[in-house]
Structure 1
């Protein structure tokens, strides 16, 4: 059951937060996994939290293995936040055993998720929900609710931060819609290294293709490269994109294969997919990474015209 406070949907105890206990001190020590979750917690927690992220820029969460130091940090934290939906594939078993570990995507109704063909059990859904801002903003209330349970004295503070950040995300959602609308419909085809942008395509009206599957664990073969190159030639696609957390060699192979078939497709630039940019840069925040991606996609698909 959910509770609505000041226009925000907050997780109720039946949403799995009842196991959290007050820590009685600030700053609340929080450990996070991917760096855009780190940014989310910092936006809501503000001065009352001290956040340590395990995964920095360019790190692939599908493949990341927790070190002994990571495990120690997780157990010493007052609260742990992770994305969930098996994004952190090799850490899932550890995270799910920690009573103080909260999956932020548990705030999103399952009927709004994209089901994976052939997926079963916990692997049934595409985990890349942050590329639909209207879904990601639902995680804000869950973070605020969890922080309020471990730090009840800060509940009003967390609520105010969550409300302000939600409004910023609503403006971001409108910005993305307006920018993508500039691309002629027939040119709205987004091709990347792996299939991370399905939510983005569904929300903002692009056809999306990834060379690899939803997880970068999947292998890429020569046939995959040739088939994607043929699709690019047939559709006369101007640009395709690499990702900051995925080696570029497979996309470079696709470009070469398309050119061998007589069509010059360009590298449209680098997108942030499973990790945000370096800390201290605009792209190191969730909002900044999405704005960078949108500018790069629009420029690439319009042939450099911004």
Structure 2
């Protein structure tokens, strides 16, 4: 079922409560969409709003000179907990087209996007993955009935989302369709090369230590694709709570697998990871807090993680440095690369 959103009466009321004008075309009876701008009518550059950093980066590459992209959620912002402000509503209302991740990543913003789709072109970059029931989508329990939304941590999967952005922009602005498709193909090729680069670097971690312990379950796609085991203290959302049984399970794995490092996330307070250090030490195993990982947001320019490619490379460098723990950089004899 498509994620391209239709407006319903309840969401019109939400927008009115936020002080945003709602088109009279929003129907409250059968939930049918009202009038929608399906083709760009103006002159470039298009005014484009993206929700998250990875989405904004993808759209910026594809739109090229034909678009100006504004991203709502900057470095260190947790999309699971994000609540829109009035300035965000103004940006959304003034946009020619809006791109979002989908799969309920932007949970608290979803109602607003749903209402906005009556009057603007609104696209989820994961839409085709859902429509085609892509087998790479990671099914999880307890996340509002949606697959894991953190698809950008698989570079090859994200390359397919970039290609979808190219098709969406070509549909919305057919006069420049050839440019959008070419830009999308060029950038997707870069991400396919990045995928190969990540596989090579992760293969340098001893297989026994390819365990990625983080605050929440944001790296499931990464771990599945690149041959690691992902252990998040929380579930898919940072709103989830940590229970004692999960904490004990993670400590047992750290000790049994001689994992030297756990990782904090840029959008989550580090205290939750620090709580693992003492129980490991009590069992004679030293574990340290590694470099910060970018789970749900890009970093700042000074971090070198303010682009998607930079973010992936920064994460991989932190993982390799933390998990090798002084071991040789070559894969163990007989071990296959992920």
Common topology (TM > 0.5): yes
Is the CA contact 1:24–1:151 (under 8 Å) kept in the aligned structure 2?
Answer: no
Specify the alignment match of 1:88 in structure 2: 106
Moved more, 256-265 or 177-186: 256-265
Specify the alignment match of 2:68 in structure 1: 50
Alignment of 1:142-221 (within 5 A): 142-221=164-243
Structure 1 runs of 4+ with >4 Å offset: none
Is the CA contact 1:41–1:51 (under 8 Å) kept in the aligned structure 2?
Answer: yes
The whole-number CA distance in structure 1 between the counterparts of 2:291 and 2:246 is 21
The whole-number CA distance in structure 2 between the counterparts of 1:256 and 1:54 is 38
Give how far 1:96 is off.
2.3
Moved more, 276-285 or 86-95: 276-285
Specify the alignment match of 2:310 in structure 1: 288
The whole-number CA distance in structure 1 between the counterparts of 2:101 and 2:190 is 20
Q: Is it true that 1:102 corresponds to 2:126 in the alignment?
A: no
The whole-number CA distance in structure 2 between the counterparts of 1:79 and 1:156 is 18
**What is the alpha-carbon root mean square deviation over aligned residues?**
1.8
Counterpart secondary structure, 1:114: coil
Give how far 1:95 is off.
1.3
Query: Which structure has the highest strand share of the two?
Result: 1
Specify the alignment match of 2:137 in structure 1: 113
Alignment of 1:7-22 (within 5 A): 20-22=38-40
Is the CA contact 2:102–2:125 (under 8 Å) kept in the aligned structure 1?
Answer: yes
The whole-number CA distance in structure 1 between the counterparts of 2:152 and 2:274 is 26
Is the CA contact 2:212–2:228 (under 8 Å) kept in the aligned structure 1?
Answer: yes
Ranges in structure 2 where 5+ consecutive residues have no aligned partner: 1-35, 330-338
Give how far 1:281 is off.
5.7
Specify the alignment match of 2:77 in structure 1: 59
Matching residue within 67, 71, 75 for 2:89: 71
Q: Is it true that 1:248 corresponds to 2:270 in the alignment?
A: yes
Moved more, 241-250 or 276-285: 276-285
The whole-number CA distance in structure 1 between the counterparts of 2:239 and 2:143 is 15
Moved more, 285-294 or 123-132: 123-132
The whole-number CA distance in structure 2 between the counterparts of 1:281 and 1:182 is 23
Which string of whole-angstrom CA distances, capped at 9 and with x for unpartnered residues, describes residues 273-297 of structure 1?
1001115763111111001111110
Which string of whole-angstrom CA distances, capped at 9 and with x for unpartnered residues, describes residues 18-72 of structure 1?
9622222111000111111111111111111011110000000000001111112
Specify the alignment match of 1:34 in structure 2: 52
The whole-number CA distance in structure 1 between the counterparts of 2:326 and 2:75 is 26
The whole-number CA distance in structure 2 between the counterparts of 1:47 and 1:112 is 32
Is the CA contact 2:48–2:95 (under 8 Å) kept in the aligned structure 1?
Answer: yes
Query: TM-score, structure 2 length as denominator?
Result: 0.81
Give how far 1:223 is off.
4.5
Counterpart secondary structure, 2:170: helix
Query: Which structure has the highest helix share of the two?
Result: 1
Moved more, 53-62 or 224-233: 224-233
Ranges in structure 1 where 5+ consecutive residues have no aligned partner: 1-17
Is the CA contact 2:125–2:164 (under 8 Å) kept in the aligned structure 1?
Answer: yes
Larger Rg: 2
Give how far 1:98 is off.
2.4
